[in-house]
Amino acid sequence: MTSSVLDQLKRKEIVDLLDQGKRIDGRAFDQSRPLSIETGVISKANGSARVRLGDTEIVTGIKIQPDKPFPDLGDKGIFICTAEILPLAHPDAEPGPPGEDVIELARVVDRGIRESGMIDMSKLVLEKDKSVIGIFADNSVVDHDGNLFDACSYATTAAILSCKIPKWEIKNAVPVLVEDHESSPPITTIPVSITMGRIGEHILVDPNAEEWECIDARITITTNSDGNICALQKGGKNGFTVDQLSKCADIAISAATKIRERLKQTKG
């Protein structure tokens, strides 16, 4: 928990470069790292994706199975999102139950999917109030080089877009699988999260691990296909001015467009 002399030198180097308009890895301030998306990588899952965002790598699997609805939400399917930073992903990652960082990560990714209405959950009801389809999205962080929010968000979105939903019929009050009747998920929009870090007055899109260490504050802004904002999460040890928040919104809306096009290609 102590910032060493080395860390302080690194921070100084990063900030000095920023003041000259440069990022340490040569990207533009509003530029994400190279994004690779591969779907269908886990054939035992109903949907899956392997996403690399720079050197951050995620494998996400979707499992779909009948479940009971949440109380008072008997006309909606279930969506549950988890994350684990595998201990092989980083020297500081430890096995065991998720800490607050990982819980926040999973909940932010979850909220982006849920609040955007990406999946039409009303189409996932087998028998109202009794039996619905549950979608589990589990994110395994395989290599951690910063900005897990966006990497997990893209991996989850891509895995959902590529998944096939099995068919169940209710027989004697029990859901029974109908073989060979898979369908595409009922997608209404494609949410894209853009996470930005503030270092001094600079706003950086998709900070890598070295930049992440220097962040004063961060914000994740998720937008839907209409360019509207559907989820927000501020974090970090400092805050944002209202002007900075306005700027972040503009950046997020703009930066999301290209990534949404990439995600659309995984569809179908």
Touching other proteins, residues 18-37 (CB under 8 A): none
Sketch the per residue contact string, 162 through 201, with other proteins: x for CB under 8 A, - otherwise.
----------------------------------------
Nearer to other proteins by C-beta: 118 or 259?
A: 118
Supply 141's token pair.
């962080």
Q: Which of 87, 110, 111 is nearest to 99 (CA)?
A: 87
Of 5, 91, 171, 172, the one binding other proteins (CB under 8 A) is 91
Of 74, 166, 186, 236, the one binding other proteins (CB under 8 A) is 236
The whole-angstrom separation of Cα 136 and Cα 172 is 26
At 244, phi and psi to the nearest 5? Answer: -60, -40
Binding part of the chain for other proteins, among 17-25, 113-121, 125-133, 179-187 by CB under 8 A, reads 113-121
Nearer to other proteins by C-beta: 117 or 186?
A: 117
The whole-angstrom separation of Cα 255 and Cα 31 is 7
Contact flag: residue 118 with other proteins (CB under 8 A): no
Of 5, 6, 44, 173, the one binding other proteins (CB under 8 A) is 44
Contact flag: residue 100 with other proteins (CB under 8 A): yes
Contact 127, 170 (CB under 8 A): yes
Contact 59, 41 (CB under 8 A): yes
Contact 153, 136 (CB under 8 A): no
Q: How far is the CB of 82 from other proteins (least distance, A)?
A: 7
Contact 230, 45 (CB under 8 A): no
Query: Hey, is 231 helix, strand or coil?
Result: strand
At 79, phi and psi to the nearest 5? Answer: -130, 125
Of 45, 58, 109, 113, the one binding other proteins (CB under 8 A) is 45
How far from chain centre, in Å, is Cα 87?
Answer: 19
Of 10, 11, 63, 123, the one binding other proteins (CB under 8 A) is 63
The whole-angstrom separation of Cα 131 and Cα 129 is 6
Contact residues: other proteins, CB under 8 A: 1-3, 41-45, 48, 55, 57, 59-63, 65, 71, 82, 84, 86-91, 95, 97, 100-101, 103-104, 106-107, 111, 115-117, 136, 138, 140, 142-145, 219, 224, 227-242, 245-246, 249-250, 253
